[in-house]
Amino acid sequence: MRAGVEGQMTFSSALDARQFLVNKITAEAGSSGVSLSDAELRLLLLNLAEPESATGIPVDVLEDTSGVHERKIRALLQAAYSRDAKDSAEQQKYKDAARALKGSDHYMRIIVAVAVPRKGLISNVAIYVIIALAVALMIAALQIWTRGK
């Protein structure tokens, strides 16, 4: 892990990023008295591109359609992020970790994408809304103009 310098990634690899998030989740679980099962701990290290990383995780946990394990892990990561709210450099590490995991097949990528707020996402949505409104206004103006001919 490298020091977070603006414009420079904090993590040298997806594995480093994943480990940072795993450490945050397990520390939060410890400090809040939430127990993580062995299967949940293994789930934190799951990489879909490496089938052997699923070794020791029961099939019912891997195929959990209820989302019980995902919600539990996500809540712990959200709590850790909130706990670090006063330290903007530390919160930036969460965002850098999410960026480092982008494009990877790590299970943690799903968790961090939902748990860590991204300012960029909101601004992207705003841009799309503005574009959609501009296109709608252009179409309306074109219809009014063609009716006048």
The SS3 of residue 36 is coil
pLDDT of res. 124: 57
- For the record, the structure tokens of 92 come out as 């930036």
* Amino acid type, 58: P
| Cα gap 72→84, rounded to integer Å | 19
Q: 42, 31 in Cβ contact below 8 A?
A: no
What is the full per-residue pLDDT of the chain (149 aa) written as tens digits? 444 444 456 899 999 999 999 999 999 999 999 999 999 999 999 998 998 999 999 998 888 888 899 999 999 999 999 999 899 899 899 999 999 998 899 999 989 988 888 665 455 566 667 777 777 777 777 788 777 66
- Indicate the helix (H) or strand (E) that contains 31: helix 14-32
Of the candidates 26, 36, 28, 20, the one whose C-alpha atom is nearest the C-alpha of residue 101 is 20
pLDDT of res. 46: 93
**Can you give the pTM of this predicted structure?**
0.73
What are 49-70's pLDDT values in tens digits? Answer: 998 999 999 998 888 888 899 9
pLDDT of res. 24: 97
